[in-house]
Structure formats: C-alpha cells, structure tokens
Chain A
C-alpha cells in the first residue's frame, strides 16, 4: 500500500516535470479549429520541412495565454489572435517581440511589414489573414419582391423594402460600423463619428430599426442555418463560412460586399516559450507570400499581404477544387470597390467594453 503510494507520487512528479520541459521540440500552434485550422495545416504545416507542428484549438481571448505566461508554465508556442488581443497582449508583455528583418520580403523586395495591407501595430505580430462580416442571403429569397434583390448595406437595414428577419450576432463589433454606413456616413468617417456620443446614439438608433426583426446568433455556423431554413431572409456572417458553403456544398448564397467590415487576424508567439527558435522559424515560413496565398486554396479568407493576393490572382483558378477564389476574397479589388471599413482595433480597445455593455443593454430591453 505504502509502496504504491510512493510510486504514484513519483509518477505524478515525473508527469509534472515532463509538462514543464516537453521532451521534443514540436511547435504547438493554437488556432480556432475546424476548416480554418485545416487550411493552416495544409498551407503551413504540410509545406513545412523544419519540424513537426501540433495544432490545438482554443476559443479566443487572452485568458489562457495570460495564465500560462504568468504561471511560467508555457505549453503553447504560436497563437492565432484577433486584432484586439494582438495589441493588448503585446502591450502587456504576453507575447514575444520579434525581430522584423528575418521575415520573407515580397518578390519585389518590399519588406513584410510594408507588404501588409494595414498598419502593423507592433513588433509582436506576424500577418495571417483578413476576414470580414458580410451580409448575405439565399438566391430566390427575394423573388417577387418589389424592390428586387438587396444590394447595399442600406438594404440590410431596410425591413420595409426587403421584408424578413435579419440574423445578427450577439456582440457589437461591425454592427455599429455597418449601422453608420447604412445611415449615410462615409466609410472613412465612421470612427470619428462613433467617437462622439451623438454618433454612437446614431448607430444604435439605426440598429433599433431592425431590432424587432433580429434573430441573434453566437456561433459562426448559425447564420447559414438561419438563412437556409428561411428563418431569416438575410444575415450577417463571417465571409469564410459563407464562402465555404458556396464552394463545398454549392449553397445558393449571395454575398453583398457593400458595407463589409474587415478584421485582421495575426499570429503571435507566447512569451517565455522554450521553443522560441523553432516557433520563429515556423512563423517565417507561415508568413511568406507563397504560404499566405496557399491558405486561400483551402478557405476563403484572404492573405494580409498584397503579394499574396497577387499570387492568387495570377494563379486562378486557385481553389483546390479548381474554381476561382477571387470573387470570394474580401480584399480582392472587386470586393473593395464597394464601401468597406477596416475595423479599427485601437478604437475598439478603447470602446469595446462600453459597447459590449451598451449592446447587451440594448438587446436585453
């Protein structure tokens, strides 16, 4: 009995020791799971010859990362983060700051940071993709409608001319920007208008117009089901989800690029990881234009680097099934010919919490 006890204690001690220093230097890549992780696996890990990459799923946020870093028990190496987390985590010292000159420049010699379509916020982040919130509907949903099919972001907010319910998410991001654009604010003025209390009220007043027609969703697959089942006539969704349904299942969805709000997605390295060297090597590989473009073979999220987009355009039909992918890329020239906003993470860093509260209060009334 006692002997058994001792062996158990020993075993658990060994296990915890093993947790502190992993035996082999595999890189652990933490991402969102599903088709997205699969695309990263195919585009980055499968083309990587420098070692093994393990994928782990998480639900976003910095909570787990903060716990790992502060406890000194770091088991993740690279994490795929949203724009807000990319900034806060770097500011608070949760991510490693990376040398910038080691990353692969564009074929024309432009440095990586210059090649990214938005300003690189700090030295912690390495470009991943753009994704966007877009309105979409099912072909035929508006047959016989006097005003025809919806085309613009105004139409999304107009339940008179375009009847039916609207599927929207349960948080405020992108909704306030879209509301202002639908209310006639020029995309480049959206954040300066939102910075004033009147502008904020104006956005929520516009949201009021669809509140009674809103069906709220919180998981990315939901809006597709809502539109397919006819429960709503139009919904906002992540563009990649809609694109995947169109490409993989021939779903008869129509995306309206007008009014889309594009969000950044970065990868970062957790501070204090014992695999820093291996992780950096892999990040250099994953951020190179070839790999950036390669991801779009598997999912309709767009490379952040201009040179990546160029590779795709030149290589069409680019998607793995042999169809054109550019019509589904949120930052393709065609999509960007409509109104759009690049979500401003520093504005959201200031106002995210208050919008979250206000949005909850608004939707709860």
Chain B
C-alpha cells in the first residue's frame, strides 16, 4: 500500500526493552506527506514507543524506519529535523519564550535577523506575539502549550510529532487547542504524528487513526470508518460505546451470519471478523442504533427488554435494560417528543438491523 507520497514508513519494526517481551510487534505503517495521523491506544500499547523511535530517542530492535526514502535508524535525533511537542512541553525554564523559539534556529546557525523574523512569525501564529520576553513559568498552561507548538514548528520541519500534548490542560482549553492545532496543520500542510489515549481528541483532529493495542495496530482508518466499521472487538470497544453480546456462530450466509448467544437467542449480524461456523464471536451494537418498540417487521432482530435504570442526560436518556440475558444493555433514547417515555420496570421491545450488529472476534477483549 506504499504510494508515491509515502513520507514516513515503519517497516517490520519491532521493539523490546528487556529482550523477553515485545513492546512493538512487527509494525508496518505508511504515513503520507501532509497527513495528520494519530496513534491511539491505552497506556502500554506501544504508541509512545513508536513515536520515540521515530524521533530517534529509542532505537528499533528490528526493522527499519524511513523518512522520505531515507532510512533513519542510524541518524541521531538532532539530525532528523523532526519537530516535537512533548507531553509536558519541555520548554526550557531558564530561557525566555523568545530564547526557547530561537534555540533550534541558533543551533542551525541562522543569522540574527533571520532568527528574529522566524521567532516572531511563529509566536504570531500561536497568538502570543506579546509574550516573547516571559519565562515559561510566567505563562498559563495553554500559553505554554502554544509556545511548545510554535517551537516545534519554528524551524519549518516537514514532520511534527506530538506526544499527548493536551494531557495537562482542562477540558475546555483542550477542545480549543484541538481546533487550533488542526487549523495550524491545515494551513501549514505539515505532516503530524499525534499520540493520545483520548479518542475524542483523535476523532476530532486526525486524517487517519492507528488504534494500538498490545504492540500491534488493531486498525488504521479514518475516524468515521473506525467508529462505523470497527474491524475487531477491541476497536469497537475502544472507540465509542457499544453493547457486547457473546455467542457462537450458527450459520454463515454471505456477508450475514447468525449467532446464537449464550441464553439461546439467535441474532442476525453482519459478518465482519469471524472464523467460521461453531466459533465464538462477539456481537457489537452501538447504543444509538437500537430502536424502542419498532414497527413490527422493520428489523430482523427484535427482543424483549426490561428497563432497569434511566439516566437523564439532557440531549438523550441513557437507558439500561436486560436484553438476551445481559442486564447491562445500554440504549440511548434521543430526548425528542416523538420518542416514547419509559419507566423503570417497563417491559418493551428493542430492535436493530442486521448491518448495525457486527460479528467480531473474541481475542481482542481483555
């Protein structure tokens, strides 16, 4: 799947710290020029290690990393020309903002005037033009964040790495910064590799998301695909909310399959990632795709449900019910006038389509 435009390429990369376990298992990843790729995954999934290998701070145990068409395994970090925003920004506390920004330019031996122009341009880009003489400690968290971004970009790198850069900010600021980073990326056309464990951050900003787990990329896809069409149970579980029903495959019919879940009911589902008849499978169903008391015949899957708990959340009502032997079945009912109002203890019917119910593997579930 390598194309002309491939800019960063991980080829069969493996990484082990102790010689016994692999933190990154046989990673293959191509990132296109100008792309915003997010490595998303729980902590310990290997995403940060990949970023560190790309930045040059960790050597790959096996395999090769290419930047453009140049293998960079043997290139020390300071010669890679990659910008990076660190988790806690790593702004040099003994230098002013201007000196921080000038640092990468000075080590590249640019002229004084050139340094001044570039520094100013970068600061203006993050709307901190007036703060050049302050020290990092005199800035707010959000301002420090912007300085860190400006510093990573001031020497015009083709590739910028960001290691959970928004982790230390409060929610509102984080959302604001997500948009700013996205806009900077769009206006500069720089390639960004972004690491986070926050899925909404990943969904907001990325062109493509690589979902990491256990040292392996579970799925690499644009945000909408990832949510709509998870390829395995881990991704389905990790991205957004889903109801999980376990069972074994009864029959397979083209892209459809029938799964007998553990209380004996049979559900018709989309065959995505099942091994064959008789094998175990996980059925994944998004809570917002379930309809309450559907018109008869609208869905192939209709089951009795007993309402256990209702939680009022403003725009929707989160309903927990017992369905098919699971008492943690969640349904999101939009708070609109045409929707039925339920009471705890009611018995109703839940229905969903075959396409919304994806039959997946069982291995990715921890």
Q: Do A and B come into direct contact in the complex, CB within 8 Å?
A: no
- Which residues does A use to contact B, with CB under 8 Å? none
